Amino acid sequence: MSQLDYHNDTLTFGGQALTAIAERFGTPCYVYAERVLTEAYTAYRDAFASLDPLICYAVKANGNLSILQHFARLGAGFDIVSGGELARVLAAGADAAKVVFSGVGKTADEMRMGLEAGIHCFNVESVNELVRLNQVAGEMGRRAPVSLRVNPDVDAQTHPYISTGLKDNKFGIAFDTAFDVYREAAALPHLDVVGIDCHIGSQLTDVTPLIDALDRLLALVDRLAEAGIVLRHLDIGGGVGIRYTDETPPDLQGYADAVAQRLAGRPLRLVMEPGRSLVGNAGVLLTRVEYLKLGEAKNFAIVDAAMNDLLRPSLYAAYHQIVPVVRHAHLPPMKVDVVGPVCESSDFLGKDRTLAVKEGDLLAVLSAGAYGSTMASNYNTRPRAAEVLIGVDGQPRLVRARETLEALLANERALLETH
């Protein structure tokens, strides 16, 4: 990870000692580095510069308002999947005209919110959604800009839970029926058919499936043009994979060049929706070892972060590197499972890690900026973690206060009022 270094055996991130962050803000705590956010965004902007794309950051990767605000200031648009995320990006100062609305289950209320705000486009995933959107737009006396999410039926070669472009996925409109669905869309009076999109999966370390998907989409774009349906933009979906441990992320410039070559001479604006690759390696999860539990079969480091804070290891068997915040020269390393206090055997952050740790030590779970805090829950009545953003000046800022128990109980009512 960039911006992550040991200085005198103490881990620093964005120029700040993580020991100082833990002391000031407590644990568990997500720590983000602004500089890495900027680097990741400009890497996309520069690689694709010849196409002047609309880069819509996928909010579900990390929706912290300060992070959204940072990307909005850099000129990004946003890819949202709910009315809640729309409210979030508007609160962060986003330009609604740069917002695309994805997701298979948009409610009529969410459609109204999007139309009211004047978003760039609805990425529609089914015929019934088209019909509903047409009706909602009609009731409001507006026209809804739509793109169809086409399922190109290519194998993204990633984890089944984050693969979305195959025939048996719930996402998108089957490639074979897409042409007919476009004709239906074009015939609906309150819709403007403006684009085409796809998203075949996440954490792709090979761009071949992305290019295959693009080729299939372009063939459809041509067929549609012949039938008089001329699209204005093409949205290639999420970004490329990142390095969690030993993955080799694809060469962004190589990917951009392949896309540019295919779009050359076409009057199609490029849109993309990267999430993970803009924030994943901009964040770590700081946690403290509560107990060491040494046994015959296994050793456990029981830490104060858990699956409710970072679900990816439990949900996808995802691997996150875990490193000590203070390196001990004289402590012998041992093999441990790093686990949380939640009452589930699947509550682990890492298995069979070789670490030199003792009780009270701090650990950093790396590459935790994407799909970390956004997937957090209150399981076991655990308040959600604090979040800190380290600015380019090296100064840490609390960007989400640790949830209080009071806030956590606030929406519940006891059956019997006690006096």
Ligand X SMILES: *Cc1c(COP(=O)(O)O)cnc(C)c1O
How is residue 134 written in tokens? 């047409």
Q: Which helix (H) or strand (E) holds 75?
A: none
Check binding of 133 to ligand X (CB under 6 A): no
* Interacting residue with ligand X among 53, 238, 340, 396 (CB under 6 A): 238
Determine the Cα–Cα distance for residues 231 and 330; give it in Å rounded to an integer. 64
The answer to whether residue 121 is catalytic is no
Q: Is residue 406 packed enough to be buried (19+ CB in 10 Å), middle (13-18) or exposed (0-12)?
A: exposed
The answer to whether the annotation marks 417 as part of a ligand binding site is no
Looking at 22, 33, 37, 61, which residue binds ligand X (CB under 6 A)?
61
Query: What count of other Cβ atoms lies within 10 Å of the Cβ of residue 241?
Result: 23
Point out which span in 28-36, 235-243, 258-266, 295-303 binds ligand X (CB under 6 A). 235-243
Site string for ligand X, 69-108 (x = CB under 6 A): ----------x----------------------x------
Query: Backbone phi, then psi, for 111, in 5-degree steps?
Result: -65, -40
Residue of closest CB approach to ligand X: 238
**Tokens at 63, concatenated:** 């929706």
Of 51, 405, 16, residue with least CA distance to 255: 51
Number of residues that bind ligand X (CB under 6 A): 15
Q: Are 277 and 242 a contacting pair, CB within 8 Å?
A: yes
Give min distance, CB of 353 to ligand X, in A. Answer: 25
Question: Angle of helix 65-73 relative to helix 83-91, nearest 10 degrees?
Answer: 60
Q: Which of 145, 250, 275, 369 is the binder for ligand X (CB under 6 A)?
A: 275
Which of 29, 40, 58, 196 contacts ligand X by CB under 6 A? 58
CB count in 10 Å sphere of residue 312: 21
- Choosing from 29, 56, 198, 343, the catalytic residue is 343
275 marked among binding-site residues: yes
Interface with ligand X (CB under 6 A), residue from 35, 276, 288, 384? 276
Backbone angles phi, psi at 12, to 5 degrees: -120, 150
Joined tokens for residue 238: 């999420």
Does 316 show up as a binding residue in the annotation? yes
Which listed range, 39-47, 62-70, 237-245, 259-267, lies at the site for ligand X (CB under 6 A)? 237-245
Nearer to ligand X by C-beta: 21 or 81? 81
Q: What span, in angstroms and rounded, lies between the C-alpha atoms of 214 and 359?
A: 51
Q: Does 371 appear as a known binding residue? A: yes
Is 14 labeled as ligand-binding? no
Can you say which residues are annotated as belonging to the binding site for substrate? 276, 312, 316, 344, 371
Which sequence positions are flagged as catalytic?
Answer: 343
Residues near ligand X, by CB under 6 A: 58, 60-61, 79, 102, 199, 202, 237-239, 273-277
